[in-house]
Chains A and B, each alone.
Chain A
């Protein structure tokens, strides 16, 4: 074929269209790196984990996918106490966070006046010291023969809590109460901040209106403040419950072998026993349970636009 002139290029589309086509691509370029990061390092690992959970084998010979679903059953049968305990402790801590956090959020939003910023700083301030160091401080506070245990002993509170199985008759450390106390402490700010945000949004004139209509303070709270703060309650409980259910730091530092949570088991299986399928199965079950709880909770509370 002789070299001839190249066929005439197709007539270019009018220039005006080009920038708009490029503009349509802008969001995709903006999204690409971040979304790719999440896909590769968040979504893909989930797939790998799902596959690992149905593998069998040993560390020496290697693992192979054998669709061995029994791992799930065996893991649940062996570790259900830790599972139940995790949900129980996390639930209790979430409830305590709500009971303790609500008054403080209310105080900041409505009563603090010119102290508001200072109190807010004090709420966030604990964050500035590593949470592990602060959790270790609870070892000192709850120590055997320490002030807290002494007071509880003299007031015979310890007898009651020991009877309930929350503590032992002479100590608090290494008991369920210590773990729940640590969990509550660690996740309180995650409850208070969303509560404060939603309380702060409430129009003060609504309170005046309620008072003008002869509502008692209690009625005002029940009929006006509480319903309007529900978005904060929902996101606060989620932000507390989710990390608390998978936490193993408090259970390991403040608890004993009788207070181990499922996070400890996953960590031990993965990093020490090196039984990857069991660890993967446990972690998958935890994920499923938490997602189920979260979805049902969000549906029932009717605030689906949390994100």
Chain B
């Protein structure tokens, strides 16, 4: 049977595409259901087509407030974690110092710890200190768990850097500052950017640690969580879809620019 033989030969491709479908399916459902007009409070069953939610994405109380809070927290957490993480990564790759093993495990451990453990222990600390739970405690927590991921991303890039480039800069009488700003930083930039993007995504989408340490402050994931109990407004799907479209557009635009630059360079 030729069909069976074809299937056997392309088994890996077929299995891979099935997995891809499994991963994409929920996104499609989210997108389709952003055009739904549900009968009750929950948006789980298809009723009929409507653009209502798209026309009024902030029509639900507190939704857009929680969204802007999440964006603000993610912004500052990204800046904090990227700055601290990049410094650590440079120190780890470029210098010798004591207690390297201990520092390496201190950076690795937050990534090898279930989120709920970090969330609970951090809350214990805040309760013991009598800290007011809210924006600042969430920001502190986010910088803490994003830090290790930034270190890993930047470290990988700095390690693969050719040290001779910096030697060449010094040989050409560039001072240490000039060498760093004009040579080291531009080469490390993709790693730093990758770390920052990762930190932003992790912070923006974090639920468990935030849920423990936010007090009565409500971030976007917490709003979605609450709505799963109270009733899911269609606007949630609208925002999910918009985020998806914007992000994919940014990625594709970045690819296009990179491709064009590469073909220009070849000319």
A residues with CB within 8 A of B? 26-28, 30-31, 33-35, 37-39, 41-46, 48-49, 52, 100-101, 103-108, 111, 117, 119, 121-141, 143, 185, 188-189, 238, 242-243, 245-249, 253, 263, 266-267, 270-271, 276, 279-280, 283-284, 286-287, 290-291, 294, 307
Contact bitstring B96-121, A, C-beta under 8 A = 1, else 0: 11000001101111111111111011
Known: A27-B95, A128-B247. 4 other contacts (CB 8 A): A30-B88, A128-B246, A290-B112, A294-B112
Residues of A within 8 A of B20 (CB): 104, 119, 122-123
B30 interface hit (Cβ, 8 Å): yes
Residues of A within 8 A of B97 (CB): 27-28, 31
B224 interface hit (Cβ, 8 Å): yes
Contacts A30-B91, A104-B20, A106-B16 given: A42-B124 contact, CB under 8 Å? no
A-B contact count (CB 8 A): 247
Interface size on B, residues (CB 8 A): 85
B159 interface hit (Cβ, 8 Å): no
The residue on B at minimum CB distance from A128 is B247
A270–B123 CB distance below 8 A: yes
B91–A27 CB distance below 8 A: yes
Contacts A38-B107, A107-B13, A126-B27 given: A248-B120 contact, CB under 8 Å? no
A30–B248 CB distance below 8 A: no
Residues of B within 8 A of A117 (CB): 255
Contacts A126-B24, A185-B22, A266-B116 given: A48-B128 contact, CB under 8 Å? yes
B91–A125 CB distance below 8 A: no
Contacts A33-B87, A35-B88, A188-B23 given: A132-B228 contact, CB under 8 Å? yes
The residue on A at minimum CB distance from B24 is A122
Residues of A within 8 A of B243 (CB): 128-130
B26 interface hit (Cβ, 8 Å): yes
- 22 CB contacts below 8 A, A to B, read A27-B95, A30-B95, A33-B84, A34-B88, A35-B106, A41-B144, A45-B118, A45-B121, A45-B125, A100-B15, A119-B20, A121-B248, A130-B221, A133-B30, A135-B26, A137-B25, A249-B208, A266-B120, A280-B124, A290-B113, A307-B104, A307-B107
A107–B17 CB distance below 8 A: yes
B124–A34 CB distance below 8 A: no
Contacts A48-B121, A130-B243, A138-B26 given: A242-B114 contact, CB under 8 Å? yes
